[in-house]
Amino acid sequence: MTIKTLMTTAALAVALPITAIADSAENKAFVLEALENTILAGDVEAVDKYFATDIIQHNEMFANGIEAQKGVVAFLSGNGDFSAEYIRVIADDDMVAVHARYEGFGPDSVIGFDVFRVENGKIAEHWDNLITEQPLNPSGRSQIDGATEITDLDRTAANKDFVEDFLTRVLINHEQVDFAQYINPANYAQHNPMVADGIDGFGAFMAQMAEQGISMDYTEVHEVIGEGNFVLTLSEGTLGADATAFYDIFRVEDGLIVEHWDVIAPMPAADAPHNEAGKF
């Protein structure tokens, strides 16, 4: 999906007679324009047009403030190999989330989620979670393929509540629940690099982790961002003994989760160059 296609879709959505949807669509179009004209174009001077002077940065490699943002653009503009493929873009009022594949950060391609908060016509805050691209999972799926069409806009709030309830009961409280209450038992596509499709694939992965003495615990869901059938959650917890950031995006259809993508990465270490704003 190209930036042009995404921006056209967003522009069409602005015409809908629903204020919240219009605001979300405008913010989505604005963020995509900002990324195209700064990071992808390598234009440092354009940063002032799109980013707030006191932008809050949650990536531990970069400081807060617009000068640091200009530094990011300058660095990438000097790397002729940098490119970005935006696969999914969802907007929820002032929050815009991008699921992307990047080339040029290093020797290997990177899969990531970037989240932007728009305030007073500028990008005021940024979060992300990145991981090196992995081989296809046991079901032959990649970290980014699968459905992209946004539907069921009238179900946004309900789908957000549903996904948050799933994370809270299953991954925070570890309640013994019937997974079929949340995950479609006949149709569940999994894009985690280590997990196969279906409820059985998820159960087998969790059992394998338990056998190895590795637990995966979510302790807090910080953000729930949704647009129609897609819901992105930003959570923290632990994977084994390591503090971990979990970014998960779920596709919900007919009241059940039918597809899942994630980026799981370590929390910033004590010696990180910058972590003034924290990961979340």
pLDDT at 103: 93
Backbone dihedral angles phi then psi of residue 51, each to the nearest 5 degrees: -115, 140
Segment (H or E) for 6: helix 3-14
pLDDT at 20: 64
Give the list of residues 6+ apart from residue 15 with CB closer than 8 angstroms, or none.
22
pLDDT tens digit string along 209-222?
889 989 899 999 99
pLDDT at 76: 83
pLDDT at 86: 97
159 vs 253: CA distance, rounded Å: 9
For the chain, residues with pLDDT lower than 70 are 1-20, 80
pLDDT tens digit string along 142-152?
999 999 999 99
Note the pTM of the prediction, 2 decimals. 0.91
Question: Six-digit token pair at 193?
Answer: 């690099």
pLDDT tens digit string along 75-124?
887 776 889 999 999 999 999 999 999 998 888 999 999 999 999 999 99
pLDDT at 75: 86
